[in-house]
Structure formats: C-alpha cells, structure tokens
C-alpha cells in the first residue's frame, strides 16, 4: 500500500465511494453478537511489545515518532497516534511496525476498513510477526469475516499452539460458521487445563447456546460469573439465553448487570440493544424504543450507516410543515414493519410539509399505490469497508429536506403505546387488477381454503437457522384434509416441494409466472387473494400482514416484535404460534395442524379475533 493510499484510507461515505462499493448487502438482520474477540491490540502488554520492537529500529527519527504514537495510544489519543504513524511512514513506507501502529490507531477510532488495510500491509512486511495475524484476526471477526479470521488464527496458533486467546477467538469464529463440534473440541482441552479461565467458560456457553441448548449454556455462564462476578459479557450472554427461555425479568436483570459493568467496552452498544429488545418484549415500549437507537451505534455489530447530508430528525423536533426523508432500514420485512407509522407521520407534517420514503426498489410500486401523496424513492445498500451502508442515488440535493430519519426511529414518537398499533390496521394496498387475476387462478384449483405456506428466511446462516422449523415438522399440517396449499416461499425450495409430494403425498401448488422474491408487488396481490398465510416471520408474512391477510405466524418462544403480548400488535388479524423449544418444533406444528383442521371445517375463522 502506498503512503498516499494510506492517508486516504479512512472510511469515505461520499457519493463517489458509495457508487464504487461492489458488494451488495442483501439483507440486514438483528444479530446478537455473543462477545467481541478476546484480547486487545492496545493492551499494556501489546504496547510494551511494540515499544521493544521500536527500540531496534535504526533510523534516528523513526523510533521517536513511533514511541510517541504508542504513548498516544496508551492515553487513548488515537487521532494523534495516527498522525505520528503517518509521519513515520513518510520517512519509510516499508516500515512494518509503523503500519502496525497505524492499524491499531485506526481500529480504535472505529475505522475498521482503513485499519484492515494497514494490518494487511504490516503482515506483508513482517510475515513472521504472528501477533499481527492475531490482531488482524480479531478485527476480521469484528467485521463479520469469520472465514478470514479462522485462517489468521490458524497462522498464529501454528507458532503459538497454547495461546488461550487465539483458541478462544478461533472457537468463537467456528461457532459463527456453525461448526459447533469443532468449536467445542477446540475449547474443551484448553478449559480442562485452565478451568479458572472465565472467557473460555463464556465462549463454551455461547457455542452451546447457538446449538439451542440454553439451559446448559446458562450453567456455563454461571460458572464464568462465579469465577468473575464483574464479567459484563457473561451477564450479557446469560441474559440472551434467559431471554430465549422466556425468563424476561431475569434477562432484564442480566442486561442491567452487563451495562453497569460494561461501560467503556466496545461491546456496550450490543448490550444496550439486547436490553432494548428485552424491554420491548416486556411491553415497556417507550423505554424500549428509546434504547433501540443503540442499533445505529457504530460499535454495534450490525449497525448500518446512511449516506445523507441534512439534519437527522429526533423526537424533540416538531414535524409540522417540515420536509422529511425516511430511510427504510434493515431487511424487507423490517422496512414494512417500521413504516407502520407512515400514515401518522404524513398527518404530523401536515399539508405544508412533505414526506419522502426511501425504500427497496421491490417495494416502490406497493408504497406508491398505498400512499400517493408520498414521494417514493429507492435506496441502494452496499457493504463498504465491512459496514452495511445505505444511500439514495435519486437524491442530488439533500438541501430540499429539513430532516432525515431511519424508519425505526419514528417508533419512539408514534408507537409508544399498544393503542397506537390498534389504530393502524392494514396499510398497504395490492394492485386490484392483479388481486382479481390471482383469485381467478385460485378458482381453477380444487375446492377448499387456499393456504399459502412458507417455512424459511432468505438469510438463514449461522445459528439463525434454529429459529425456523425443519420442513419435516410440516408433515401433519400439510396432510390436513380439505386445504389447498399454495407455495409463497421465495428462493430455492424445489427440494422441499418435491419432498412434500414424494414423502408427504401432498402437492404444494406453485403459482405460475411470478418471482416470489423479486416481484413483491405481485406477491402482495397473491397473498391478498389467499385465505391465510402460514409460516415463519419473514418478508412475505410482513407483506401479508400489511395488506390485511390472515397470517398464522410460527416463531420462537420469545419474539420482541410481539411487544409483550400473546398476539402481533402490528397487524390485528395475525395469530401467533410460539414454540417452546427451537430444538423440537413438532408440538407447535401439530397444534397449528389441529387449528387448521378446525378452520377448514368452518369451526373457527382464519383471522385472529381480538
């Protein structure tokens, strides 16, 4: 890397950089990081080692500059450390230690992309210095690059096979890659040799939790906390396991304990986010939505950046007469859910104001039809320097807006009481001509209620997969006499449809000439024409809810979006079917099957009755 490129390596979210970003981010989800990697590139031991390395440099000015830079890092004056490292590199661009110092300074400022390139330059110049590989591995893990991190940890462990830090961090990455047995096999021998190590107990807990065994995970977190009662991350993780078990008050207590002890930790925003979803799950909406802002912190694992150039709206800003741009955020389902407030926002700005919605290209026709008074623009999402970045190429002049806001932030004002949800009801309108088309097609099928089914999410990597029932669990439901099943599952599902036909003896009918993933406007018309949608929470169930179709939502035991109720406040016609265990979906699927038989027989309505 040239020095000129190094000077410009800071993350740039300008329009030019945005246009050049190559990797599209298909969907952003709410991940709950188990913990950031063990170790610190700026620890006292790490800085001492760097000072010792600097002492061996021959150039007269170089050691002085780098010692000053290291001193600045120790004092947390990271911007000054960066300037000193860059000055050193002007003297010698091939000085690996200077690149290493610059990498640490930028990492500590949150410039992960620039830091990654500097670590890479340092490692190329000092290939035998495996500490650089360890530091780079930690950064890659923080940037959700576990495959790269595993390779870097392997490089370090080849020369340092007993490093607890590298073993712990590599096990965490193997967990994120769902290589659970490998992760456990890596941790157990080290934990046997070092039973006093709290981080290893914590990491083992996170692996077991990812497999769905929350009870055992809690035992491991308990042991970590017995050894270190002030271990903030273990409180955070135990709170997550308790949350999934439905023990919300205990989960909240752990969230508070983590936050009390975690101030100053880079994981602090993740802890705040966890508390926000716990508060929402308890129905404490005002507190929950306020703390939900932690999702936007640059230190939160999945935080997105928005490319804008005007003031960001806050709840203290009066909207009357203002020109507001609203960014849809996260995945398609979240965009629909969070724009639940749109009608109330339009009323708030009044006739002298204006609202512009920046949404997915796939949702644009649906929102234009449903809200003709709103300007509907489209966003583009990229992964830039390891961060999800969302912008709008349709907007040349941000000066035409008074404020912008992510859609979810509007909930802090417009959805602080369950009464606010009741007032809304269905708010998206499918194309009437296409609804008629699909009703005509459905009329050609065998008689009986037309039941749309879906069973998975597009983004189902990692431990997220356990929140979706295996297809085999659908056997009893799909064999319900009198029901006609229509596939509304987007993505590649040929294998499951063939399994239903060959093993269950059930034909799940594929609707003709529709792209269930890309043509969301026609999908909205199709689900409007169906009698009920049954499936897991994803974009399709949110679309069905928003157009007013009855939905039977099959989900994990605790879902924050139920807001402390046993129903789905966003859409009053939705019925919720939570599973008691994400490792055994048969009981809940059998319950849904029994209810479907009753609905087909006309004993109960498909729609939830308030």
Report the pLDDT value the prediction gives residue 459, as an integer from 0 to 100: 52
What would the mean pLDDT of 23-37 be, rounded to a whole number?
43
Please tell me what DSSP assigns to residue 312: B
For 485-511, write each residue's pLDDT tens digit.
999 999 888 999 999 999 999 999 999
For 189-219, write each residue's pLDDT tens digit.
999 999 999 999 999 999 999 988 999 999 9
Report the pLDDT value the prediction gives residue 60, as an integer from 0 to 100: 76
As a whole number, the mean pLDDT across the chain is 89
- Confidence band, pLDDT 50/70/90 cuts, at residue 464: low
For 251-265, write each residue's pLDDT tens digit.
999 999 999 998 877
**What is the CATH number that goes with domain 195-299?**
1.25.40.10
| Spatial CA neighbour of 458 closest among 491, 497, 488, 486 | 491
| Spatial CA neighbour of 452 closest among 331, 249, 596 | 596
Tell me, yes or no, if the two domains 33-159 and 195-299 fold the same way.
yes
Q: What is the pTM of this model?
A: 0.84
- Confidence band, pLDDT 50/70/90 cuts, at residue 457: low
pLDDT of 10 > 70? The answer is: no
H or E segment at 324? strand 323-327
pLDDT of 453 > 50? The answer is: yes
**What is the CATH number that goes with domain 33-159?**
1.25.40.10
pLDDT of 22 > 60? The answer is: no
What would the mean pLDDT of 116-129 be, rounded to a whole number?
92
Give pairs for 551-554: CB < 8 Å, separation 24+: 551/575, 552/577, 552/592, 552/595, 552/596, 552/606, 553/577, 554/469, 554/579, 554/585, 554/588, 554/589, 554/592
Q: What are the domain boundaries of the chain?
A: 33-159, 195-299, 304-416, 432-600
- CATH number for 432-600: choose from 3.20.80.10, 3.40.30.10, 3.30.360.10, 3.40.50.2000: 3.40.50.2000
Cα–Cα separations (whole angstroms), residue 104 to 73, 81, 113, 217:
8, 9, 12, 33
């Amino acid at each position: 890397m040239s020095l000129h490129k190094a000077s410009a390596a800071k993350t740039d979210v300008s329009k030019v950089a945005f246009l050049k970003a190559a990797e599209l981010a298909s969907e952003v989800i709410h991940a709950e990081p188990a913990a950031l990697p063990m170790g610190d590139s700026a620890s006292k031991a790490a800085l001492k080692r760097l000072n010792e390395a600097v002492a061996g440099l021959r150039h007269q000015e170089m050691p002085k500059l780098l010692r000053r830079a290291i001193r600045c890092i120790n004092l947390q004056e990271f911007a000054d450390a960066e300037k000193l490292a860059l000055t050193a590199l002007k003297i010698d661009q091939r000085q690996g230690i200077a690149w290493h110092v610059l990498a640490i300074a930028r990492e500590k400022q949150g410039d992960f992309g620039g830091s990654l390139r500097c670590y890479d330059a340092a490692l190329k110049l000092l290939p035998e210095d495996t500490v650089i590989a360890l530091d780079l591995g930690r950064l890659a893990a923080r940037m959700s690059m576990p495959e790269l991190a595993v390779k870097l940890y392997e490089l370090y462990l080849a020369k340092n096979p007993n490093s607890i830090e590298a073993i712990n961090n590599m096990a965490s990455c193997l967990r994120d890659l769902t290589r659970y047995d490998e992760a456990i096999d890596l941790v157990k021998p080290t934990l046997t040799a070092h039973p006093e190590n709290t981080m290893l107990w914590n990491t083992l807990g996170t692996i077991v939790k990812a497999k769905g065994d929350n009870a055992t995970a809690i035992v491991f977190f308990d042991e970590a906390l017995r050894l270190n009662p002030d271990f903030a991350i273990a409180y955070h993780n135990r709170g997550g396991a308790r949350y999934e078990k439905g023990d919300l008050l205990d989960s909240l207590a752990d969230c508070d304990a983590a936050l009390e002890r975690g101030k100053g930790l880079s994981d602090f925003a993740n802890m705040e986010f966890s508390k926000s979803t716990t508060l929402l799950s308890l129905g404490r909406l005002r507190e929950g939505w306020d703390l939900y802002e932690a999702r936007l912190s640059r230190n939160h694992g999945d935080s997105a950046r928005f490319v804008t150039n005007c003031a960001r709206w806050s709840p203290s800003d009066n909207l009357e007469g203002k020109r507001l741009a609203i960014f849809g955020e996260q995945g398609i389902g979240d965009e629909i859910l969070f724009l639940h407030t749109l009608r109330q926002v339009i009323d708030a700005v009044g006739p002298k104001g204006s609202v512009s919605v920046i949404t997915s290209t796939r949702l644009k026709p649906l929102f234009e039809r449903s809200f003709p008074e709103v300007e509907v623009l489209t966003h583009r999402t990229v992964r830039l320097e390891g961060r999800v970045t969302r912008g709008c190429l349709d907007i040349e002049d941000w000066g035409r807006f008074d404020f912008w806001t992510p859609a979810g932030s509007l909930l802090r004002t417009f959805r602080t009481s369950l009464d606010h949800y009741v007032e809304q009801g269905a708010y998206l309108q499918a194309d009437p001509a296409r609804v008629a088309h699909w009703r005509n097609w459905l009329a050609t099928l065998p008689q009986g209620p037309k039941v749309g089914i879906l069973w998975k999410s597009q983004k189902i990597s990692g431990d997220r997969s356990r929140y979706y029932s295996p297809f085999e669990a659908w056997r009893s439901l799909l064999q319900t006499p009198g029901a006609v099943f229509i596939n509304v599952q987007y993505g590649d599902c040929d294998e499951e449809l063939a399994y239903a036909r060959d093993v269950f003896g059930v034909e799940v009918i594929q609707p003709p000439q529709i792209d269930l993933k890309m043509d969301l406007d026609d999908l909205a018309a199709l689900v409007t024409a169906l009698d009920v949608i049954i499936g897991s929470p994803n974009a399709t169930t949110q679309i069905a809810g928003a157009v007013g179709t009855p939905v039977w939502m099959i989900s994990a035991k605790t879902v924050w979006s139920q807001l402390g109720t046993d129903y789905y406040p966003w859409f009053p016609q939705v019925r919720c079917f939570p599973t008691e265990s994400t490792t055994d979906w048969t009981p809940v699927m059998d319950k849904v099957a029994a209810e479907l038989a009753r609905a087909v027989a006309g004993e109960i309505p498909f729609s939830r009755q308030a």
